[in-house]
Structures are given as C-alpha cells and as structure tokens.
A and B are shown apart, each in its own frame.
Chain A
Amino acid sequence: DIQMTQSPPSLSASVGDRVTITCRASQGISSWLAWYQRKPGKAPKLLIYAASSLQSGVPSRFSGSGYGTDFTLTISSLQPEDVATYYCQQANSFPLTFGGGTKVEI
C-alpha cells in the first residue's frame, strides 16, 4: 500500500497568513491526489483533485500543487472559517489511502 505522510500534524496561524500543508507519497502517484477539509461534526469536503484542480464552489484562496511524491495544499490568506483538519488522498494505486491529517487552528 502507498503510505501518505502529511506535515505538520497541526499548525496555528493568524487570520490572513499564508498556510502550506505538505503531503508526501511513499511512491510516485503521478498527479492523482485529492485534498479534503473536515470541520468538527461536518461531512468532509473535497477541495482539490488531480493535485491542482479546484473543486467547484471552493474559494480561490485554496490551491494545490505537486507531482509524483510531493504535494502541497496552500491557503493564501487564512480565514476563521478555515479552521479544520485537512487530509490528502492518493488515487493512483489500489487501495486508496489517506494522509494522517493536518489540524489548522487560529
């Protein structure tokens, strides 16, 4: 199975800060990576797919990049409503696997 390692496990930033979360795959996954946001008590929400494609309805302050084994999720200007846990997921190899999550606080 492909292991997905996210860093950092948690971070605290201020409103307006640029926030970057990293996801590393244990082997190359091309661009088949998705990012999700999960707020407490709510359903996880798809933010980014195919590494850099913004899901419809997601604010443009979210962006994704990367290819192969190293990927990043960037929030260009952190907002209070962005407090959540973020997960990456690879879809290149069976079985699908997720990262351990990054908790973002303000």
Chain B
Amino acid sequence: QVQLQESGPGLVKPSETLSLTCTVSGGSISSSTYYWGWIRQPPGKGLEWIASIHYSGNTYYNSSLKSRLAISVDTSKNQLSLKLNSVTAADTAVYYCARGTSAWYECRFDPWGQGTLVTVSS
C-alpha cells in the first residue's frame, strides 16, 4: 500500500527557510487521480491545510501562507517538497504530507505520513 514519509531538519532559525521532503512509496506520485498535500499542526492547536499539488503542476495554496510558500513534485524521485521562507516561531509545528482525492472540493486525505516536528528557534 502507499506510504508517505516526511523528512527534513527538525530545527530552523527564525527568518530562514523551512525545507521538507515527502517520499512516496508503494505507489506513483504521477497518478493522475490524486493530489498531494501538506498539512501542519502547531503545538496545542488544530490542523491547518497548507497546500496541495498535482504531479502535472496544478497547485493550490492556503492564502494565509501563499506569499512565503513553494511546493513542488519530483516525479523521478517520487517525492514532493515544501519550502516555507521567512519563518517565525508561529511556524513551529508537526508537518504532515498526505495523499488527497482532489485539489480541494470533496477532498479527503488518505494515507498520511507520520509527521515531522519542525521547531523554529535561534
């Protein structure tokens, strides 16, 4: 079955760029059926959808983060990536990648990665 695994630095300094990779195994990221999403959860807060991308390049961003955000897909490596620049302590969160059934309308996420904690601190 499809599995997702997030990876990246666990500590990022304020004002720097947070970079994460999600490796997909057991299935192709180039499937036309699915979108691939990033979701985060700050400590003590709820889940926040960040963005979703199709392997074709169609991308949907949460407007609250759009100006600082870039996501991409590397089909040769079966990976998706997230870059969030100018980070602050408010970006400290567990970051998840997940497979979505669509860009947003009627979208549900399954499966998810286990998540990776990123702390923004000097």
With a CB–CB cut-off of 8 A, which chain A residues contact B107?
91, 96
With a CB–CB cut-off of 8 A, which chain A residues contact B63?
95
**Chain A facing B: main interface SS:** loop
Q: Are A99 and B46 in contact (CB under 8 A)?
A: yes
Task: Give the residue among B39, B102, B106, B113 with the most A Cβ atoms within 10 A.
Answer: B106
Which residues of chain B from 69 to 122 have a CB within 8 Å of any chain A CB? 96, 98, 102, 104-115
With a CB–CB cut-off of 8 A, which chain B residues contact A50?
106
With a CB–CB cut-off of 8 A, which chain B residues contact A49?
108
Q: Are B49 and A96 in contact (CB under 8 A)?
A: yes
- Cα–Cα, bound, A32→B107 (Å): 8
Q: Are A98 and B104 in contact (CB under 8 A)?
A: no
Number of B residues whose C-beta is below 8 Å from A? 26
Sorting the interface of chain A by its residue count into under 10, 10 to 19, 20 to 34 or 35 or more gives 20 to 34
B47 CB → nearest A CB, Å:
4
Q: Does A41 have its Cβ within 8 Å of any Cβ on chain B?
A: yes
**Chain B facing A: main interface SS:** loop
Q: Does B62 have its Cβ within 8 Å of any Cβ on chain A?
A: yes
Q: Are B112 and A95 in contact (CB under 8 A)?
A: no
- Cα–Cα, bound, A98→B115 (Å): 17
Q: Does B48 have its Cβ within 8 Å of any Cβ on chain A?
A: yes
A86 CB → nearest B CB, Å:
11
Q: Are A44 and B96 in contact (CB under 8 A)?
A: yes
A85 CB → nearest B CB, Å:
10
Q: Are B46 and A100 in contact (CB under 8 A)?
A: yes
B50 CB → nearest A CB, Å:
9
B116 CB → nearest A CB, Å:
11
Residue of A nearest to B62 (CB): A95
Q: Are B114 and A89 in contact (CB under 8 A)?
A: no
Q: Report the 7 A-B pairs with minimum CB-CB distance, sorted nearest first.
A: A46-B110, A98-B47, A96-B49, A43-B112, A34-B108, A100-B46, A49-B108
